């Protein structure tokens, strides 16, 4: 690993750690190869800085290595946050071992945190899948089908969080204005328009479904009731969506947040301003909403690539 006649103290310590991983922990071959590769790069980086013993490594040394991973060099491409984090895990494991086995006095990697992985983009369903799920809400011909359709229409039609939807009371609806009052995080309230499909589904539920459910309860003002007349729980609402997706044959991962993501993405695809979507979602910062614009940029790229005569030139 270096130009001297024998291994440096740092190299010997790393070899001892790798032996420990084989003998004591029995790591799989592929995992061991990853550790060996990561630590070889670590030792090479430190040697380039003139560091050849474990006790000479500082927190700044480990931080510098992490930065080098992210930036890359002539021999290595820049690593993603996830790959760099995996390498840092190997380094942190080595230093913990070195202290535990008396090969070093201090752990310079203890305070160095792996980089956070890139924020996963929300998954939005195509409108055709949304419509199939809405059409499949509830067992056909039942009272609960009216409730389930109304619930899912409200979730997709307003972008409400699941907790906001099941927390709705009858007085939160304003039929004349065509709006609903949602109570979000930190008890923040926002007024959101309700589209015609959601209004029709809620009206049908209020006329033909909710009275039957309310008859078994104690007069709760909750909009969405369970079969015993109590307020519908978040878990039950989640189950309503899962069953509808299963009936519709939608195999993609579906959750109440999927409907919220789809609401935002479809609005932006339709030309809505990101600040308007921010207000509708109840986000405190527009930067939280802007993650959805990354989704729509992907769809724009696809359209551009297939439609522009010189897109692929």
Q: How confident is the model at residue 208 (pLDDT cuts 50, 70, 90)?
A: very high
Query: Where do we find the tokens 């440096």?
Result: 8
Range in 180-189, 218-227, 296-305 with the lowest mean pLDDT: 296-305
138 Rama class: left (phi>0) / alpha (psi -120 to 50) / beta: left
Q: Does residue 34 carry a pLDDT above 70?
A: yes
Average pLDDT for residues 85-92, to the nearest whole number? 89
143: part of which helix (H) or strand (E)? helix 143-158
Average pLDDT for residues 280-309, to the nearest whole number? 62
pLDDT of residue 203: 95
pLDDT of residue 173: 94
Sign of the Cα torsion 286, 289, 295, 296 reads: negative
The CATH classification of domain 127-307, taken from the options 3.90.1720.10, 1.10.443.10, 1.25.40.80, 1.10.10.10: 1.10.443.10
Nearest Cα residue to 214 out of 206, 225, 202: 225
Provide CATH 1.10.443.10 ranges for the chain. Answer: 127-307
pLDDT of residue 313: 45
Query: Where do we find the tokens 């190869």?
Result: 33
pTM of the model: 0.58
pLDDT of residue 279: 79
9-100: what fold? DNA polymerase; domain 1 (1.10.150)
Q: Does residue 309 carry a pLDDT above 60?
A: no
Residues tagged active-site: 161, 185, 257, 260, 283, 292
Q: How confident is the model at residue 265 (pLDDT cuts 50, 70, 90)?
A: confident
Provide CATH 1.10.150.130 ranges for the chain. Answer: 9-100
Alpha carbon of 100 to those of 30, 93, 109, 133, 218: distances in Å? Answer: 25, 11, 14, 56, 63
pLDDT of residue 115: 73
Percent of the chain with pLDDT over 90: 46
Nearest Cα residue to 18 out of 33, 3, 30: 33
């Amino acid at each position: 690993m270096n130009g001297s006649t024998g291994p440096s103290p740092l190299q010997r310590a790393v070899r001892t750690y790798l032996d420990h991983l084989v003998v004591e922990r029995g790591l799989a071959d592929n995992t061991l190869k990853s550790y060996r590769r990561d630590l070889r790069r670590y030792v090479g980086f430190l040697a380039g800085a003139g560091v050849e013993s474990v006790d000479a490594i500082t927190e700044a040394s480990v931080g510098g290595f992490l930065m080098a991973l992210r930036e890359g060099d002539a021999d290595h491409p820049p690593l993603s946050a996830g790959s760099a984090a995996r390498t840092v895990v190997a380094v942190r494991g080595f230093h913990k071992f070195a202290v535990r086995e008396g090969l070093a006095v201090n752990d310079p990697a203890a305070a160095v945190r792996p980089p956070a992985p890139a924020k996963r983009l929300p998954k939005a369903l195509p409108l055709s899948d949304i419509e199939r799920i809405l059409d499949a809400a509830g067992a056909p011909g039942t009272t609960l089908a009216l409730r389930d359709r109304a619930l899912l229409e409200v979730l997709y039609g307003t972008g409400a969080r699941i907790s906001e939807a099941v927390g709705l009371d009858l007085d939160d609806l304003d039929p004349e204005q065509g709006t609903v009052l949602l109570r979000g995080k930190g008890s923040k309230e926002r007024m959101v328009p309700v589209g015609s499909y959601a209004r029709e589904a809620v009206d049908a539920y209020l006329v033909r479904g909710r009275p039957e459910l309310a008859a078994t309860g104690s007069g709760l003002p909750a909009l969405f009731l369970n079969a015993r007349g109590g307020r519908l729980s978040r878990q039950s609402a989640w189950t309503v969506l899962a069953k509808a997706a299963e009936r519709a044959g939608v195999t993609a991962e579906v959750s109440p947040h999927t409907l919220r993501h789809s609401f935002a993405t479809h609005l932006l695809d339709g030309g809505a301003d990101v600040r308007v979507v921010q207000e509708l979602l109840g986000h405190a910062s527009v930067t939280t909403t802007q993650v959805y614009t990354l989704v729509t940029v992907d769809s724009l790229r696809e359209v551009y690539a297939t439609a522009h005569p010189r897109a692929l030139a």
